[in-house]
Each structure stands twice: as structure tokens, then as C-alpha cells.
Amino acid sequence: MQLACAPVWIPAPLETPKRRSQPVIAAWVVRVWEVDAPAGVEPLEWVLLCSLPTWTLQEAKERRDGYGCRWMVEVYHQIPKSGCSEEKRRFETAEAMGVCLAILSVVAVRVFQLRCALESQPNAPATQVASAAEIELVRRFVKHRGRSFSVRDFVRGVARLGGFLGRKHDGDPAVRTLWGGYQRLQDMLLGVDLYGCSPPRRCW
């Protein structure tokens, strides 16, 4: 891989009214390209624009590595947008919307943690990502009778609370079902807490 960087100045678009009076934006461009790609494979090439000063090789590597995390950023922002339906919220002020987004971001981080754990350590014990109460509720819901309960068992169980079918050939759950399942799990935890210690055996 090769790296190159340079400062650039970006003028306003041609169709912008009063273009000459608009400020020119100072930015830095970082180019990353593959020089020895396998035969028949299109070489990788990124051309990145950033607002951070990038003069040295080390700084260029930092920008490259940051861009490598782009998929994680996109998945994180997909959670409040798709799972939490942030675009359907209606508020009269930007301040109220900001408060809502702050709350949703906390939930989004938790759902994102579960999604990442499912991909990176699916066979680890569920205790690494959930409390004992959360695990017990999900275990009862999915009727899991084995002794071990993995991260994969827990996360897919949470998703089933949100409508994920979890059939044999289904892939990993989407963020929408994870969000819905996590919200329902929190309601179940609240019910257990209000009841006292454990769920009632029967309802009258």
C-alpha cells in the first residue's frame, strides 16, 4: 500500500449564488492505493478528504486507520435511524430533539455492543455482555435448557424478543430486531423489579 497527502482548497460550487463571496474551504486530501494487487483483481484506492491537518506519514496513517472504521460508524448511526426510528420523532424545538438523540445514542451504543460481540466473540460466555437478570430472562424466553449460554445465544434471544425468527438458515439479526428486543427486555426487567424478586408462576 502507498500513502500520499496534501493540502487542498475547495471553492464553492459553480451554481452557488454569489459564489465569489463564499469562503474557500481549506482541507487535506489523503490518497491510499494498492500497488501489487493480485492478477484480475481491481486495486484498492481511497481518496479521502478531511478537515484535520495532515502533513506527516504518521498523520496520514491515522486518517487511513480512522477511515477503516467507517463501517462501524455507519452501523452505529443506522441503529438510531432504523432501529430507534429517530427520523419519525416530532419535536417543536431543536433542543428537544437534541435531548431525544442523546437518550437514543445511549441505547444505540448498547445495541451496537451486542452486535459487535456477536460478530467478534459469539462463543464467549453471555456474562461478558449481559447481567445475570438479563441472561435469566432471555434464557427462559427461548426455553434454553443447557448449562452454557453464549453471547450468540443471548444476542439472538434478545433479537427474538424483537421479532427475529432465528431459523436454522437465518443470518445474524438486524439492528431493528435487536433494538426492539432490547427495549422489550428492559420492560421485562422493570416488571421483575416491580414485582419484587422473580416473575410470578401464574397470572390470575
In angstroms, the CA 164 to CA 181 distance is: 9
- pTM for this predicted structure: 0.64
| Reported CATH class of domain 72-195 | mainly alpha
Residue type, 9: W
pLDDT digits over 67-92, tens only? Answer: 888 888 887 877 777 766 666 677 77
Q: Please report which confidence band the pLDDT of residue 123 belongs to, taking 50, 70 and 90 as the band edges.
A: very high
Task: Kindly list the domain boundaries of the chain, sorted by start residue.
Answer: 2-12+19-68, 72-195
CB atoms within 10 A of CB 122: 15
